[in-house]
Amino acid sequence: MEFDEVVRERHSVRRYARTDVPHHVIERVLDAAAFAPSAMNEQPWHFYVAVGETRARVGEIMAQSTVYLEDYIEVLSPEEYEHASEWYTELGGCPVVVAVSMPVTEDRLQLLNRTIAVGAAIENVLLAATDKGLGACSITFSFWLRDQLAVALEVPEDREIVALIALGYPAEEPVAPPHSHDIAEYRD
């Protein structure tokens, strides 16, 4: 695919086929992160790939998020609540979950630089997944689950998980939502 096509085709996939993704394909997708910009080329990201039994354990941990969804029942319609509950319980049936971590820091500037760099790395991964015919969805999660996820994925204490990426072959071809083209203001 050409770059413009990859950017326009990328969307968050929330339903996955129950088809394994070959390890070499996962490696190629994650390799794209290395080309993301980072302050002083620190490349603060590290990825933990969960498949098989570890993927199932991550799913069990993430399913706990549904406990607090009831707090949003007044905001969410019953259908949206059911959809959100199913999503966090099954993660769309994705066969691969990638946890994204960065080093722990108390320094605000370093935290900002690392957060921006990790976001850029995640975007590269999402674009690479699209280019390889995979679906992906960047997931934020309840941080009270972070310690349990770190144990399941054997993340060292000097790193923290900041995001998850669901990855797999799409089970359906959802229509990408409209995007705003009115995002910049010019000044002379």
CATH 3.30.230.10 describes domain 13-62+92-168: no
Residue 75, pLDDT score: 73
> What are residue 168's phi and psi, to 5 degrees?
170, -175
Q: What is the pLDDT of residue 69?
A: 67
Q: Does residue 68 or residue 60 have the better pLDDT?
A: 60
The pLDDT of 78-94, averaged and rounded, is 84
Burial 119-155 (b: 16+ CB within 10 A, else e): bbbbbbbbbbbbbbebbbbbbebeeebbeebbebbeb
**pLDDT at residue 1 in the model:** 81
Q: Is the pLDDT of residue 93 over 80?
A: yes
Average pLDDT over residues 65-71: 72
